[in-house]
Amino acid sequence: MYKILIVDDEQKIREVLAEYADFEGFCSDQAQDGMEAVLKCKQNDYDIILMDVMMPKLDGFSAVKEIKKIKDIPVIMLSARGEEYDKLFGFEIGVDDYVVKPFSPKEVMARINAVLKRNAPSSANKNTNPSIKYDGLEIDMLGRNVYVDGQKAELTPKEYELLFYMVNNKGIALSREKLLSDVWGYDFYGDDRTVDTHIKMLRSNLKDYRRFIVTLRGMGYKFEV
């Protein structure tokens, strides 16, 4: 599941884009200015960024420059200014696309998919066995395998998806509603007990490493190492 950071000082624009992104099957996060965007990129990994140009504290172009110093993340700029100079400057600093406001959210989603497709690594460049390890817990993303102290854990397909989703969103508070929407699907008509039941089973299979799944009382869960 691709993870998108939406950066804009207008809350309504962030909410609309996040709604469309979630509907398209993406996982979205938000920042209200360039400073917050840079901080979030230091703390989390994103597959693509939607970045407004004119924002308080730190403008979009400056934020992109700072982000590019630490991570190579595709960026689509959002701006009310459509001058050629702005577009050329954006491309010079490494921006992948440029959308002028007002825009159609559907068009933005199409551009996101196009940029992600262009930036997807070829099969020849992919790591054949990428894995993540936290103490004795090893997670093989491509193979969809989980090992606990060297022993393969027998997880159900939904437990795999739930764990991988939480790991990909490590350190982020995830509400039960968010987990239902992103792991079970946008049109899933379940309730909070569905999430709680699967978390209980997942924790049981992770044994001592169940501690990595933290309960957020009254809210949901977080994967924290």
Q: What is the CATH number of the domain that holds 7?
A: 3.40.50.2300
* Residue 147 identity: Y
Assess whether 102 and 14 both reside in one domain: yes
- CA dist 51 and 103 (Å) reads 14
DSSP readout, 116-162?
HHHHSPPTTTS-SS-EEEETTEEEETTTTEEEETTEEP---HHHHHH
**CATH code of the domain covering residue 208:** 1.10.10.10
Q: How confident is the model at residue 203 (pLDDT cuts 50, 70, 90)?
A: very high
pLDDT at 85: 73
Work out how many domains the chain is built from and give that number: 2
Is 207 found in the same domain as 143? yes
pLDDT confidence of residue 50 = 96
Q: Is the pLDDT of residue 86 over 50?
A: yes
Classify residue 125: in a domain, yes or no: no
Contacts (Cβ under 8 Å, ≥6 apart) of 111: 76, 97, 99
Sign of CA dihedral 121, 124, 127, 128: positive
Q: Looking at the domain assignment, is residue 210 inside a domain?
A: yes
CB 28 within 8 A of CB 116: no
183 and 94 assigned to the same domain: no
The pLDDT of residue 187: 44
Task: State how far the alpha carbon of 58 is from the alpha carbons of 6, 7, 42, 79, in Å.
Answer: 15, 11, 16, 15
Residues 19, 111: one domain?
yes
Which of these three, 66, 92, 119, is where a domain ends? 119
Would 124 be classed as within a structural domain? no
Position 189 scores a pLDDT of: 47
Range of the domain at 193: 131-223
- Averaged over 210-220, what is the pLDDT? 93
Is residue 140, in this structure, part of any structural domain at all? yes
- Do residues 43 and 36 touch, judged by C-beta distance below 8 A? no
Mean pLDDT computed over 73-92:
80
pLDDT at 102: 86
Q: Which of 75, 97, 119 is the last residue of a domain?
A: 119
Task: Give the contacts of 184 (CB within 8 A, at least 6 positions apart).
Answer: 158, 190, 194
For residue 202, pLDDT over 70 is answered with yes
Query: Is it the case that residue 129 has pLDDT exceeding 80?
Result: no
- pLDDT band per the 50, 70, 90 thresholds, residue 163: very high
What pLDDT, on a 0 to 100 scale, did the predictor assign at position 191?
60
Does the pTM surpass 0.85? The reply is: no
Residue 16 is predicted with a pLDDT of: 94
Question: What does the pLDDT read at residue 128?
Answer: 43
The DSSP secondary structure of 183-224, one letter per residue, reads II-TT----HHHHHHHHHHHHHHHGGGGGGEEEETTTEEEE-
Residue 217 near residue 173, CB atoms below 8 Å: no
Residue 162 lies in a domain: yes
Give the pLDDT confidence score for residue 192 in this predicted structure: 67
pLDDT, tens only, 181-201: 777 654 444 566 778 888 998
- Secondary structure element (H or E) that encloses residue 98, with its range: strand 97-100
pLDDT at 12 over 90: yes
Neighbours of 163 (CB within 10 A): 25
**Residue 82: which pLDDT band, with cuts at 50, 70 and 90?**
low
Cβ atoms of 225 and 170 closer than 8 Å: yes
136 shares its domain with 53? no
